[in-house]
Every structure is written in C-alpha cells, then in structure tokens.
C-alpha cells in the first residue's frame, strides 16, 4: 500500500508516517515497541494501560452556536468551549510530533456507499492502528489512493495526559469531540474503545439528520431461500447483555455486532469489525468468536502464559472487560457487504440484575417505545471504570453514552420505521432469575439462544402469554426446549412476595427515570410502562 499521505492540514511534521500498514508490520512494531505478546492462536495480546474501559465522565463536546441547540447536554455530553478543545488538540498534535514515527489508519464508517464517512486516525501506538484497521471498513488499494480529505479525524495521544489546570478539565483524561471541525481528541487514556465509540458518537450526530436511525445493536440475517432474502433481526443492548454472542449464530449470517444504521433501503453496519467481550470465552458455547481469534486479532487486557502462550479467558486479573477486536470476515458466516433488508424483529436485550423481568416478552408498539426510551439494564463489570458488579441503570435508546441528540429524536425514528415496515418487537432478559443477583442465577445462554431461535422461526408468534400485573408485559409461557417455570419469574422465585417487592421496586425506578421523557413520548407510550 502507498505510504505517502499529506498531513500538513493536521499539523503533523513527523518524518516517518506509516499509513495503513498490514497487520504483520503492526504486529512487529507492537511487539518490539509496546511489549505485546503473540498468543498460541497467532493473535496479539496487549494492555491498554491504566484505563481498561471507557471514561464517560471525561467525555466532552464543544458547545457552539451552529450545533448547540441540537445537542443533548447534561450528564452524557459535557460542554467545553472551542478554545479548550483547541488547547487539547494542540497538546495532542505536539505530543504526536515528538514521536519518531506515527501511524495513520484511513478507513470508512458505514457500509452504505451513499452515506459512508471517511475516517482518519492519527496515533502513536501500533496497537491502536491495528485496532482501528480491524474496526473500520478497510479501503481497497484503489480507494486508499483516492481517499482524499477525510470527513472525520481522530487525534489519539492517549499516552499523554490532559493538563488538569486547563479550564473545564476534570482530570488528566479528556475525550473531546468537535462537531463543526469533525474531530476527536484523546488524551490520558490508551483504551482503544474510545476511538471506536468516538466514530459511533459522530455517526449518532450525522445519520439522524439524513433520516437514518443510528442504533447501538447487533444484526443478523437468515439464510436466503426460494429467491427471497432471509429475515433480519436486530439486537439492542448495552455491553454485557449478549448482543455480540447472540448475533453470532451459525444458522444465520452476521451483519454486525454493535453499530448499525436503518435507512430507506434497509440496514447497514457502521463498522468493519467486531469488538467481542472474551471474559469466560468458551469454545463450545461461542465457537464463532473463538475461531475469530487468530492472526490479525487484537486481544486487549487478557492474561496469558508467556511460556505456553495460552490465554486464560477465565481470568479477570487485569479487568473483567477483556476484549477481542477482529475484522468481521473472521466470523465464518459473516455477510459481506454488511447490509440487509428492513428487519422483521427488533429484540431489546436487558440484563435484569433484580431478576424480576420475564426471559421473553412480546411488546406492543407503544411498549417498544417505552422500553427503547428507558433502556433498562444492569451495567456489568468492566465495561466502565469502577464497575465491579452489576448496577441498575437506564440508558436511553440502549445507547445514552453515545447519543448526541435528544433521545426523542431516535425514538421517533424507530417508531416510524417499526410502523412502516411492520416490524415486531420483543424484550429478552439475559440477566438473573430465581432471585436477584447474589441469590438467584443468571439465565443460561442455551435457554436464551432457544428463545431467540423461537423468535426468528416464528415459533412464539402465537404462543400463550402471561400478563405481568406489575409491568404489563406479555411474558411468553411456552418456548420449545425451555423450562416453562423459567419463563414466568414470580413462579420461579421461591418466595413470591419477595418477587413482588423487587418488581415494585424496579417499577418505581422505571417511572422515576421515564419522567424525563414523558412529555415527548405522549400519553399512549407513557401508559405502556409499569402499571
């Protein structure tokens, strides 16, 4: 691939610029410069430094007259002024210019050729370049030669801290986005996920303006038959709820595991790779992900034996948030190009730490809107700094940490698409049952897979339901191969009164959280919540 690229517009003067290097070169540099290891599968194992998860409290967006009125300001998008952004940008550029060489990764975000975004990453670590080589859509040689001016630029100087005495800084970590300049600056964190989510955050801003719903979800498609395309299912949920695991189905084609857009022609993946959690990874339970860990894959923060080079996937010694980043074509049944028709099913995944929600519920369109805006789950260990056990949380659109516009913008787009394409909605609990976290146990993966299979095959379309008197959910009571007791939580608990108390506690939290969206949602959606 050609090495030359003009970086003068980015104020980069480093004499050695390695652009879109092949994985082998990046491996060599990571091993020699960053003390990375090569494990038995051929993948590279490396540490992200002190930060092993995202730092949402250090995420900033520039408040400007052009975009300020349309940004959802508050606990997610912390405002900084342009002057502070430019100070941090210059700090990042100055740091990169002290390196003897830097890495440039050019790629695309979005498989839809009409709306795709040209992304450029400037970084000092070979590991970061390899990570983004895997996560972006990789251009052909011809596309790289005519790549031109990027639409979005990331300055990753994560090895260098932010200056805490700079106005509006809260720590030595700062992850800053300027919508007008179409740039992200990273200081004080080497966690590679900040780059991936920076691109996604920008797409959350860009796509809705074009009438496209940006979604934090995975997607797969059934095998085409009789000249007709297979049906598409979307899986919404936060990290740890099962999006990646459940969408990697040997009987279906994987479109993507985390980020998608839904436009007039169907859905498309935003990314060119997958970023799978690999804590407790087991070959028998998740064979597709297991086989994807090979030469080219980045294993982040895993523990391995330097003598045998065997990875201990059970170990959370560094973090519970161990990850594998690999190109999507490493999944045996990946669908490339990563696009599909309008979805038949939308599945909301929640990890209910209180253990009171049914494993599967059929949702009305109003209930779908309520649960989409609520985005209830438990944040699981390792996905953010400081999380060591599940914590009850609500994340609007199952994506609050990455939303730029008000959640109602995305909710209205979803409602319109559900209606137009007659898409069915489901709530699937992948969390606890037979009691809350610490008392009950987490629903086994095999049962959840059977539930999802039943949704995809239509086996539960007309199945009997039990209407939950607290949440108003229609819990499906018959799923092939699944214990019927498991499907109705209050029957699964040994103490039904304890279930009732826990359910009412959670219902109160739902109502408290939804108060912020009630006016935008309207009375029909509000009435679809807990009764």
- Joined together, the tokens standing for residue 328 give 């999507």
Closest CA to 295 of 130, 136, 141, 106: 130
- Joined together, the tokens standing for residue 382 give 């390792």
Query: Helix count (H) and strand count (E) of the chain?
Result: 14, 30
Given 118, 196, 252, 323, the catalytic residue: 323
- Joined together, the tokens standing for residue 531 give 């009764």
Closest CA to 119 of 150, 161, 73: 150
Given 84, 244, 297, 322, the catalytic residue: 244
CA distance 255 to 268: 8
3-class SS string, 369-436: HHHHHHCEEEECCCCECCCCCCEEEECHHHCHHHCCCCHHHHHHHHHHHHHHHCCEEEEEECCEECCC
Q: Where are the beta strands (DSSP E) in 204-309?
A: 213-222, 232-236, 252-256, 259-263, 266-269, 273-277, 298-300, 303-304
Q: Which residues contact 59 (CB under 8 A, 6 or more apart)?
A: 76, 77, 78, 175, 176, 177, 401
Q: Which residues contact 247 (CB under 8 A, 6 or more apart)?
A: 218, 219, 220, 235, 254, 255, 256, 257
Q: At what angle do helices 126-135 and 193-206 cross, to 10 degrees?
A: 40
Q: At what angle do helices 23-34 and 126-135 cross, to 10 degrees?
A: 150
Catalytic annotation present for 54: yes
Given 243, 252, 450, 490, the catalytic residue: 243
3-class SS string, 331-370: CCCECCCCEECCCCEEEEEECCCCCCCCCEEEECHHHHHH
Closest CA to 393 of 422, 431, 366: 431
Q: Burial, 31: exposed, middle or buried (Cβ in 10 Å; 0-12, 13-18, 19+)?
A: middle
Given 249, 257, 258, 453, the catalytic residue: 258
- Joined together, the tokens standing for residue 336 give 């490339």
Catalytic annotation present for 216: yes
CA distance 241 to 257: 12
CA distance 362 to 1: 51
Beta strand 298-300 with 44-46: parallel, antiparallel or unpaired? Answer: parallel
3-class SS string, 226-248: CCECCCEEEEECCCCCCHHHHHC
Given 10, 19, 51, 54, the catalytic residue: 54
CA distance 50 to 386: 12
Catalytic annotation present for 258: yes
Given 78, 138, 197, 344, the catalytic residue: 197
Given 52, 201, 239, 322, the catalytic residue: 239
Catalytic annotation present for 323: yes
CA distance 401 to 57: 10
Q: Which residues are annotated as catalytic? A: 54, 197, 216, 239, 243-244, 258, 323
């Amino acid at each position: 691939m050609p090495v030359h690229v003009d970086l003068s517009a980015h104020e980069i003067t480093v004499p050695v610029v390695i652009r879109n290097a092949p994985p082998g070169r990046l491996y060599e540099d990571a091993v020699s410069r960053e003390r990375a290891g090569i494990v038995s599968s051929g993948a590279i194992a490396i540490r992200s430094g002190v930060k092993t998860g995202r730092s949402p409290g250090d995420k900033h967006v520039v408040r400007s007259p052009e975009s300020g009125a349309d940004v959802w300001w508050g606990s997610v998008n912390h405002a900084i002024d342009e002057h502070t952004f430019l100070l941090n940008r210059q700090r990042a550029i100055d740091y990169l210019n002290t390196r003897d060489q830097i890495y440039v990764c050019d790629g695309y975000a979005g498989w839809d050729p009409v709306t795709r975004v040209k992304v450029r990453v400037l970084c000092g670590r070979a590991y970061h370049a390899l990570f983004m080589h895997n996560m972006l859509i990789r251009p052909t040689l011809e596309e790289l030669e005519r790549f031109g001016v990027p639409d979005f630029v990331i300055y990753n100087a994560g090895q260098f801290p932010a200056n805490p005495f700079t106005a509006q800084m809260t720590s030595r970590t700062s992850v800053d986005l300027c919508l007008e300049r179409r740039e992200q600056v990273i200081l004080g964190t080497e966690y590679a996920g900040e780059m991936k989510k920076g691109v996604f955050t920008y797409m959350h801003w860009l796509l809705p303006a074009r009438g496209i719903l940006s979604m934090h979800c995975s997607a797969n498609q059934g095998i085409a038959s009789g000249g007709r395309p297979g049906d598409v299912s979307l899986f919404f949920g936060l990290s740890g709820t099962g999006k990646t695991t459940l969408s990697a189905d040997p009987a279906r084609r994987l479109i993507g595991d985390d980020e998608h857009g839904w436009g007039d022609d169907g859905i498309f993946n935003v990314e060119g790779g997958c970023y799978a959690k690999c804590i407790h990874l087991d070959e028998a339970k998740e064979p597709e992900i297991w086989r994807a860990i090979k030469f080219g894959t980045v294993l982040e923060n895993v523990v391995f034996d330097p003598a045998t080079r065997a990875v201990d996937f059970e170990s959370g010694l560094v973090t519970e948030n161990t990850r594998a980043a690999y190109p999507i074509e490493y999944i045996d049944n990946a669908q490339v190009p990563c696009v599909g028709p309008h979805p038949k099913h939308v599945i909301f995944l929640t990890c209910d730490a209180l253990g009171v929600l049914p494993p599967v519920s059929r949702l009305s369109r109003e209930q779908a809107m309520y649960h989409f805006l609520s985005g209830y789950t438990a944040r699981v260990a390792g996905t953010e700094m400081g999380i060591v056990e599940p914590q009850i949380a609500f994340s609007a659109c199952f994506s609050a940490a990455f939303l730029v516009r008000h959640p109602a913008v995305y909710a209205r787009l979803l409602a319109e698409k559900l209606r137009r394409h007659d898409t069915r909605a489901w709530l699937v609990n992948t969390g606890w049952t037979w009691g809350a976290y610490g008392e009950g146990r987490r629903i086994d993966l095999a049962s959840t897979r059977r539930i999802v299979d039943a949704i995809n095959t239509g086996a539960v379309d007309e199945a009997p339901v039990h209407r939950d008197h607290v949440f108003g959910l229609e819990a499906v009571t018959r799923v092939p191969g699944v214990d019927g007791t498991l499907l109705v939580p209050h029957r699964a608990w040994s103490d039904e009164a304890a279930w009732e108390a826990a359910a009412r506690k959670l219902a109160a939290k739902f109502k408290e959280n939804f108060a912020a969206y009630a006016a935008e949602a309207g009375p029909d959606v509000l009435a679809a919540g807990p009764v």
